[in-house]
Chains A and B, each alone.
Chain A
Amino acid sequence: MMTRNETVIISSPHLHAVTSINHVMTRVIYALIPGILLSAWFFGSGVLIQSLLAVLFALCAEALMLYLREKPLRLFLFDGSAVVTALLFALCLSPYTPVWVNFTGICFAIIVAKHLYGGIGYNMFNPAMAGYVFVLLCFPVNMTTWPLPAGITDQQATLLQILSIIFTGPSSLENFDSLSGATTLGWTKSQLSGMFMITEIRNSPLFGSFAGKGTEWIAVAWLCGGIWLLIQRIIKWEMPVFFIGTVFLISLLFYWYDSSIYLSPVLTLFTGGIMLATFFIITDPVTASATPRGRIIYVIGIGLLTYIIRTWSAYPDGVAFAVLLMNAVVPLVDNYTRPRVFGEIKHG
């Protein structure tokens, strides 16, 4: 500790709120837990295995990069940011993803998207999304084959089967096809291109009471976790509200225009990654705009792009692409949305 004889200059303020990066990240992890558990219930223990592997890889990659960049290891390794990145990345993956895919994605997320840009606070692109998009482009098949949610078939993969899929690849299992299927969004997309109507598609067992089977309740869990984060003041209400609003409005517009080929707003919001993105991905402060107005523009942009990519591109979901595209625009948005300073007189 310092003695009074040294000339130390400590600048005011001397008080500090009970908060730290660790405090923020820990709360984000807490908020993710209900959704993770629910996912595991619907899609099997694969979810948990993917999460654990991702966290493990992320911490190793983070430690390696911190060591190489000569940063204080203890201070940065346990700030929680790598864990959050890993969890978000793992939640985007299919529970059947082979371990090398998981590893590649995390390495890209932590090493390239995070540390090569300067580490926490300096990364321009959301690491989890960058990692996800990277593996999505590299291993498209592995990414889109999901287990059937509980409640559709009685045939659930055993823990041993899951482990074998993850560690030796799907081809090692003979009855893999009966254990897996498309996601709700993927199914809808392929059926729509086969000229089926939404009402027909909606009869598929992949749909639950108001959205995708299983995923609808997971989405509700994200929503609950998100609301808890809002109450904890970890995230700000503007971003989720404007994002959901944008997606809701645009989907409503097209639903009115032609309800036979466009999904209803509720279906849009509660399928795919939208709910997870709403509270955990677009709210990542590092890669979002920093000004109050800029944040709103940023999330509206993500909302529009997500809907556009989802509806008219070859990919079933578009959140990750939308987030990365808007990440790239953030510096520009920041520059144009500077707020009026107290007492400033704007010259027209």
Chain B
Amino acid sequence: MNRELYPFPGGLQIPPHKELSNAKTSLITPLPDSIILPLQQHIGTPAVPLVKTGDKVLKGQIIARADGYVSVPVHASTSGKIIDIGNYTVPDPLGLKAPCIVIEPDGDDVWFEIKPTHDYASIDPKDLQDVIREAGIVGLGGAGFPAHVKLREGTESAVDTLIINAVECEPFISCDDRLIREKPGYIVNGTRMIRHAIQAKHCVIALEADMPEAYAALKELIDDDIDLIQLPVKYPQGGERQLIKVLTGMEVPSGGLPIHIGIVMHNAATTAAAYRAVIRGEPLISRYVTVSGEVNDPRNLQVLLGTPVKHCADQCGYEDKEGQAIILGGPMMGMYVNNMHMPVIKTTNCVLVTSTYNKSPEMPCIRCGQCVDVCPEKLLPQQLFWHAHAKNYDRLREYHLFDCIECGCCSFVCPSNIRLVQYYRKAKRQITQDEQTRSGADHARERFIARNARLAREEQTQNNELLAGSDIGELDKQAFIQAAVERTRAKRAQLGKQENSDDDQE
């Protein structure tokens, strides 16, 4: 079917390097020695553990429940024993540790009871959301936004188009490509299922022109009900706002969501995971991960969530060499990590080993304006940079800093090698923090005003009841306080030393 395409502004042609990993059949990764499952693998509130150290768990069993609406549960990826619940290194740009549940696999890989459903059409869309939520499905494209929230957005307002995003625009990553080639049925039926759940009028699966095999595989399975669109290769076409523009010509309002213009978008892998969760009753416990770059055997792996990154890399012949960087995700938006102990989580789509990352020194901006030309959000990266540098936060808002999707196009083309995105991230964090302080201050002001009003009222009543009150027990009180002061002194003397040293440290 032909569909008119609308190019999005800016963007880049980057060598895709997909050929490194997309030709080989994916490998099922053998069980690692330990499975580390972070309680937060998604955007929203972290899950709450339901197990304790020493418990035996089965594959697919819920080991931490969702906390609040924007949250999903965590499932055991394999059967085994819980050996620890504590802080472990997680995929995090700052290399932080976060609460995790650690399982020692027993090697039997026994499933917990699972409830397959053979016909999703018989399930009420509302219940479908719950099934998907209980299966722990989040966006597998990278951001990890809980899928059920988007589905509910879809059921609550009229949806014109459902877009399944199979555009893997970042270089090196081919896990969706491989997934589609190997399991096209999951994608197509999953698409139909989500369409049923949100009652979308139209339905589109979009992929880029460099995935001909995946296109052919899908083409065989779909009828007229789904538009299968091949797009010319351009980064960052897989960005939500960009893809919507390309396919529909509509722009998601600045600061708005796709649903505001009647569109729901899901990632291809998310769609497949949701279908699998509903039809086979299997929660999200594994995913496709691309291991690429400077490894001996770059390829895609089917990895149980919680498998250490090192274990995955080892399957592909990884050798530790001087000067290599490990990047989780693609080279444009992925995060640099300085060790490989952290686990693969729901949002880990790629493990990239590279020594050609950007090391050049930063030079002053020469205002060449190339960043303006490539910005897919039509921002002025260079003005943003100036104002971020000057910490001029009001100006940054005026220049729509928060519309920046951090795609990295501006940094990529910058002849002065300025890490623009890094400055934006920092500024965003600072602004968010300032806002929190601000709202705290506003709150304090309210309380201050309320207190003053109360004092004024009390004074009023006191004046009215001048006669009340007496000095009975004044002496007793004095004595009581005196005794307390002495007690305190004695206690202080004991604590004194320790507190002094505490003060020094501050």
**Which residues of A approach B to under 8 Å, CB–CB?**
1, 4-17, 19-21, 23-24, 72, 75-76, 79, 81, 118-122, 236, 285-286, 288, 290-292, 295, 334, 338-345
Could you say which of B335, B354, B363, B406 has the most chain A C-beta atoms within 10 Å of its C-beta? B363
A81 partner residues in chain B, CB cutoff 8 A: 366
B residues engaging A (CB < 8 A)? 8-9, 14, 93-95, 171, 241, 245, 251-254, 256, 322-323, 325, 327, 329, 331-336, 338-339, 354, 356-358, 360-361, 363-369, 372-373, 376-380, 382-383, 399-400, 403, 406, 408, 411-417, 419, 421-422, 425
CB distance from B466 to the nearest CB of A (A): 60
Q: Check A11/B366 contact, CB under 8 A, given A340-B378, A342-B377, A345-B253.
A: no
Bound-complex Cα distance A344 to B9 (A)? 14
Instruction: Give chain B residues whose Cβ lies under 8 Å from the Cβ of A15.
Output: 14, 171, 331-332, 356-358, 408, 412
Q: A13-B412, A14-B357, A343-B256 are in contact. Are A21 and B377 (CB under 8 A)?
A: no
Is there contact, CB below 8 Å, between B366 and A290?
no
Q: Which 10 residue pairs are nearest across A and B when measured between Cβ atoms?
A: A13-B408, A121-B364, A11-B422, A10-B336, A14-B357, A285-B368, A16-B358, A343-B251, A13-B332, A343-B254
Q: Please tell me if the beta carbons of A290 and B331 are within 8 angstroms of each other in the complex.
A: no
Q: How far is the CB of B389 from chain A (nearest CB, A)?
A: 12
With CB as the reference atom, state the residue of chain B lying closest to A234.
B368
Contact B367 A16 (CB under 8 A): no
B94 touches A9 (CB 8 A): yes
Question: In the complex, A4 Cα to B253 Cα: how many Å?
Answer: 42
**B364 lies within 8 A of A342 (CB):** no
Q: Please indicate the chain B residues that have their CB under 8 angstroms from the CB of A75 in the complex.
A: 361, 363
A6 to B403, CA, bound (A): 33
Least Cβ–Cβ distance between B351 and chain A, in angstroms: 13
Q: Is the interface of A mostly helix, strand, loop or mixed?
A: loop
Is there contact, CB below 8 Å, between B415 and A8? no
Q: Is the CB of B421 within 8 A of A12?
A: yes
**Beta-carbon nearest neighbor of B382 in chain A:** A290
Note all chain A residues with C-beta closer than 8 A to B256.
343
Q: Choose among B354, B416, B421 the residue that contacts A121 (Cβ–Cβ < 8 A).
A: B416
Docked CA distance A340–B380 (Å): 10
Pairwise interchain contact A295-B369, C-beta atoms closer than 8 A: yes
Chain B minimum-CB-distance residue to A16: B358
Q: Is B363 a contact partner of A341 (Cβ separation < 8 A)?
A: no
Q: Could you tell me the distance between the alpha carbons of A7 and B8 in the complex, rounded to whole angstroms?
A: 37
Query: Known interface pairs A7-B95, A119-B364, A292-B372. Does A342 touch B403 (Cβ–Cβ under 8 Å)?
Result: yes
B93 touches which of A11, A72, A76, A345 (Cβ 8 Å): A11
Nearest A residue to B381, CB-CB: A290
Question: How far is the CB of B430 from the nearest CB of chain A, in Å?
Answer: 15
Residues in chain B near residue A16, CB distance under 8 A: 358, 360, 411-412, 414, 417
CB closest residue in chain B, given A120: B364
B338 partner residues in chain A, CB cutoff 8 A: 4-8
Smallest CB gap from B340: residue in A: A4
- Tell whether, in the assembled complex, residue B358 and residue A344 are in contact, meaning their CB atoms are under 8 Å apart: no
A339 to B421, CA, bound (A): 20
Give the CA-CA distance A287 to B313 in the complex, in Å. 49
Q: A12-B408, A285-B369 are in contact. Are A20 and B417 (CB under 8 A)?
A: yes
* 9 residue pairs A–B, Cβ–Cβ below 8 Å: A1-B323, A8-B336, A9-B94, A11-B421, A12-B327, A15-B171, A75-B361, A75-B363, A288-B367
Question: Within the assembled complex, what's the spacing in Å between the Cα atoms of A340 and B322?
Answer: 46
How far does the Cβ of B162 sit from chain A's closest Cβ, in whole Å?
20
Q: Which residue of A lies closest to B358 (CB)?
A: A16
B366 to A285, Cβ gap below 8 A?
yes
Q: How far is the CA of A334 from the CA of B369 in the complex (A)?
A: 12
How far is it, in angstroms, between the C-alpha of A295 and the C-alpha of B417 when the chains are bound? Answer: 23
Q: Whole-angstrom distance between the alpha carbons of A343 and B401 in the complex?
A: 13
Chain B, Cβ-Cβ closest to A341: B400
Enumerate chain B residues within 8 angstroms of A288, measured Cβ to Cβ: 367
Residues of B within 8 A of A340 (CB): 378
Q: How far is the CB of B396 from chain A (nearest CB, A)?
A: 13
Instruction: Specify the chain A residue showing the minimal Cβ separation from B352.
Output: A14
CA distance A75 to B251 in the complex (A): 43
B271 shortest CB reach to chain A, Å: 25
The answer on a CB contact under 8 Å between A12 and B406 is yes
Contact A291 B325 (CB under 8 A): no
Question: Does A4 lie within 8 Å of B339, measured CB to CB?
Answer: yes
Residues of B close to A79: CB separation below 8 A: 363
Knowing A1-B323, A14-B327, A341-B400, say if A20 contacts B357 (CB, 8 Å): no
Contact of A11 among B252, B379, B419 (CB under 8 A): B419
Complex contact B322–A12 (CB within 8 A): no
Q: Kindly provide the distance from the CB of A99 to the nearest chain B CB, expressed in whole angstroms.
A: 30
**Residue in contact with B367 in the complex, picked from A19, A119, A286, A344, CB distance below 8 Å:** A286
Known: A9-B336, A11-B422, A15-B332. 15 other contacts (CB 8 A): A9-B95, A11-B93, A12-B408, A14-B331, A15-B331, A15-B358, A16-B412, A72-B361, A76-B363, A120-B366, A121-B416, A286-B366, A290-B382, A342-B376, A345-B253
